[in-house]
């Protein structure tokens, strides 16, 4: 077995509030957080002081891959499973310049554009980037867009492993790609990255996981169950067979989710306040989160992805000797892994990441020194974006000259 290498970079203090705060007004801040969960992070264009010249393919090209008779872990076979994905850049002749970017909660393929650009960690003029969308996001196969007998609440619970298996088929069958330069994942994308590391240990040269762990621990299940309970308590939900959106349930869900999104200190310092219009109140901020959190999201889709999140555990990977032991699964990871938890994440506490890192053979543990909670792992503000791009670029060997 390889000698375990554990490198820990942990700044002794947070950045100053001036660095942590963005220069966005309140509407921009609201838009930014919505984009984190719609994952169209236009803030990526502001991560560097200098302007970045758009590279070929930088905006991404939408594609689809269809799998007939897709067998899920739940035992249900979907007659047709659709994966929506986006590509940036061009696949070279050797097919050895590919980086996979698996999506996160309710994401579309634009969710990693904070990393993509000539002056950022992933340059699409050199790399071919494949950004996939999870089952249940409303575009890939989901409760909202699948016909009976699997429409709405009858759609099978799909796991992180189901998503990894589908994307493995996409890469090998559709794109004819059999090896990756790297996998970079945020949140549920990080969950997928860990699953790739144990299911296909030689498929990628390097892995980056931000704001996500190798297992969803019981406290995470309790959080998600609370959010599901808030949504489904609305009588209009009708056990998932609603005829109109269960608005009260969606607002309750959004309120509970918002409470976990940022750190307590982010709220105490009122970091939403700087640049806000005069007279903006906390009550107005909370109202906006509650009533317009993920516009247009379908309730069954939201629940499906929470169920996917709940069941994540690399220790239960079939066909292995792990026997449900996440520590054994972590010890099996042999690819170099950059592990970047947010210091203030309430979804995936930094303590869970430190625990897991202790079992990984070759890991660089680099906490993100931020007050922005879970969202720090997706560059929700310029300071965190700069930090992520520098660390990820250096780890992958893709950082621009002079960085």
Which residues are part of the catalytic machinery?
187, 345, 374
* Rounded distance between C-alpha atoms, residue 272 and residue 281, angstroms: 10
* Rounded distance between C-alpha atoms, residue 149 and residue 86, angstroms: 29
- 97 closest CA partner among 57, 37, 66, 63: 57
Which two three-digit tokens encode residue 175?
A: 């794109």
- 59 closest CA partner among 113, 126, 9: 113
Query: Please, is 306 exposed, middle or buried when counting C-beta atoms within 10 Å of its C-beta (0-12, 13-18, 19+)?
Result: buried
- 54 closest CA partner among 89, 9, 19: 89
Which residue bears the tokens 């970045």? 52
Write the CB contacts of 84 (distance below 8 Å, at least 6 apart in sequence).
62, 63, 64, 108, 109, 132, 133, 137, 139, 140
* Rounded distance between C-alpha atoms, residue 169 and residue 369, angstroms: 37
**First and final C-alpha spacing in the chain:** 34
Burial 346-379 (b: 16+ CB within 10 A, else e): bbbbbebbbbbbebbbbbbbbbbbbbbbbbbbbb
Distances (CA, A) of 81 to 32, 65, 75, 132: 31, 8, 14, 14
* Rounded distance between C-alpha atoms, residue 84 and residue 335, angstroms: 27
Partners of residue 82 on adjacent β-strands: 66
* Residue 82 φ/ψ region, left for φ over 0, alpha for ψ in the -120 to 50 degree band, beta for the rest: beta
Q: Within 13 Å, how many C-alpha atoms sit on residue 244's CB side?
A: 4
């Amino acid at each position: 077995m390889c000698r375990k290498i554990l490198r820990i970079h942990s700044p002794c203090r947070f950045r100053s509030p001036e660095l942590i705060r963005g220069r966005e007004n309140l509407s921009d801040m609201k838009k930014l957080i919505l984009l984190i969960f719609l994952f169209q992070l236009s803030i990526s264009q502001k991560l560097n002081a200098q302007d970045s010249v758009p590279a070929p393919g930088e905006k991404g090209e939408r594609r689809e891959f269809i799998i007939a008779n897709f067998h899920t872990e739940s035992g249900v076979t979907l007659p047709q499973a659709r994966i929506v994905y986006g590509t940036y850049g061009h696949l070279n002749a050797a097919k050895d310049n590919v980086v996979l970017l698996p999506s996160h909660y309710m994401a579309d393929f634009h969710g990693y554009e904070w990393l993509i650009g000539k002056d950022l960690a992933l340059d699409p003029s050199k790399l071919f980037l494949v950004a996939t969308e999870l089952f249940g996001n409303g575009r890939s196969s989901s409760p909202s867009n699948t016909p009976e007998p699997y429409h709405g609440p009858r759609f099978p619970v799909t796991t992180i492993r189901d998503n990894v298996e589908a994307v493995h088929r996409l890469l090998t069958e559709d794109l004819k790609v059999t090896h990756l330069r790297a996998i970079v994942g945020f949140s549920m994308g990080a969950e997928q990255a860990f699953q790739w590391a144990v299911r296909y240990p030689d498929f990628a040269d390097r892995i980056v996981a931000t704001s996500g762990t190798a297992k969803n621990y019981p406290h995470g299940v309790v959080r998600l169950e609370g959010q599901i309970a808030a949504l489904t308590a609305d009588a209009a939900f009708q056990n998932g067979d609603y005829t109109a959106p269960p608005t009260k349930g969606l607002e309750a869900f959004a309120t509970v989710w918002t409470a976990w999104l940022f750190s307590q200190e982010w709220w105490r310092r009122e970091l939403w306040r700087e640049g806000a219009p005069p007279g903006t109140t906390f009550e107005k901020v909370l109202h906006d989160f509650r009533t317009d959190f993920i516009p247009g999201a379908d309730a069954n889709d939201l629940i499906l992805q929470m169920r996917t999140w709940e069941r994540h555990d690399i220790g239960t990977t079939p066909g292995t000797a792990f026997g449900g032991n996440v520590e054994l699964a972590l010890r099996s990871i042999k690819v170099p892994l950059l592990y970047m938890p947010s210091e203030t994440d309430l979804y995936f506490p930094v303590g869970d990441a430190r625990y897991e890192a202790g079992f990984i053979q070759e890991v660089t543990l680099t906490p993100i020194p931020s007050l922005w909670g879970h969202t720090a792992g997706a560059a929700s503000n310029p300071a965190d974006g700069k930090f992520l791009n520098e660390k990820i670029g250096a780890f992958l060997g893709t950082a621009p000259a002079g960085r």
